[in-house]
Amino acid sequence: MKFTEEHEWLKVEGKLVVVGITEHASSQLGDIVFIELPEEGTTVSKDDEIVVIESVKAASDILSPLDGEIVEINEMLVDEPSKVNDDPMGDAWFFKIKPDNSEQINEYMDEAAYTKLIG
C-alpha cells in the first residue's frame, strides 16, 4: 500500500489501483455526510479534483493521485457516506483507476513514511 501527502491510500489490484482516504483523514474530517464521485470512464490527470467529500461543517476535495482512467467507483458511498468514517481503509474505497503509467505509484510514501508524517 502507498500513501499520499493528501492522506489517500493506493493499493495495486492487478492492472488497477484502488484509492481511498486514510483513517487519519477520515477522523480529521469528522462525520462525513456527502460524497460526490467522478463518472466511470473519466480520464483524469494527477491533482485533478475528482471527489468532493463533505462533513457537517465543511467541504474538501480529493485529488487524483495518478494520471489514468476511472474504471470503477464505489456507488455505496453515495447512499452511505458515513461508511468512510466506519471503514475508510476497507469497504469505503472511493474509486479504481487504470494508471497510464504503472510506475507513477512508486513516487508515494510507504506505510512507515506515512505513519511518520501524521506523527
Partner 1 sequence: MSDKLMHTPLNKLHQNNNARMTAFAGYDMPLQYENGIMSEHLHTRSQAGLFDVSHMGQIVLRGNDFNQVAEALENLIPMEVKTLKVDRQRYGFFTNSTGGILDDFMFSNRGDHIYMVVNASRKEDDIKHLREHLEPLGVSVKNLENRALIALQGPASEKVLSEHYPKISNMHFMDVSTIPIAGAECWISRSGYTGEDGFEISIPNKAAESVTKTLLKHKSVELVGLGARDSLRLEAGLCLYGQDIDTTTSPVAAGLKWAMHKSRLSEGQKEGSFPGANKILSEIKNGSEYKLAGFVPLGKAPIRTDTQLFDNGTSSVPIGRITSGLFSPTQKHPIAVGYIKSEFSHLGSRVNAQVRGKLLEIEVTSLPFVKKNFKKN
Q: Which stretches of the chain bind partner 1, using CB under 8 A?
A: 30-31, 33-34, 36, 52, 54-59, 78
Q: In degrees rounded to 5, what are phi and psi of residue 49?
A: -80, 110
Q: Contact, 1 vs 74, CB < 8 A?
A: no
Minimum CB–partner distance for residue 63 and partner 1 (Å): 14
Which residue's CB is nearer to partner 1, number 13 or number 79? 79
Q: Contact, 86 vs 80, CB < 8 A?
A: no
Minimum CB–partner distance for residue 83 and partner 1 (Å): 14
Q: In degrees rounded to 5, what are phi and psi of residue 27?
A: -75, -35
Which residue's CB is nearer to partner 1, number 2 or number 7? 7
Four-residue CA torsion sign, 26, 52, 115, 95 = positive
**Kind of pairing, strands 8-13 and 16-21?**
antiparallel
Which residue's CB is nearer to partner 1, number 65 or number 81? 81
Minimum CB–partner distance for residue 79 and partner 1 (Å): 9
Minimum CB–partner distance for residue 51 and partner 1 (Å): 12
Which residue's CB is nearer to partner 1, number 1 or number 52? 52
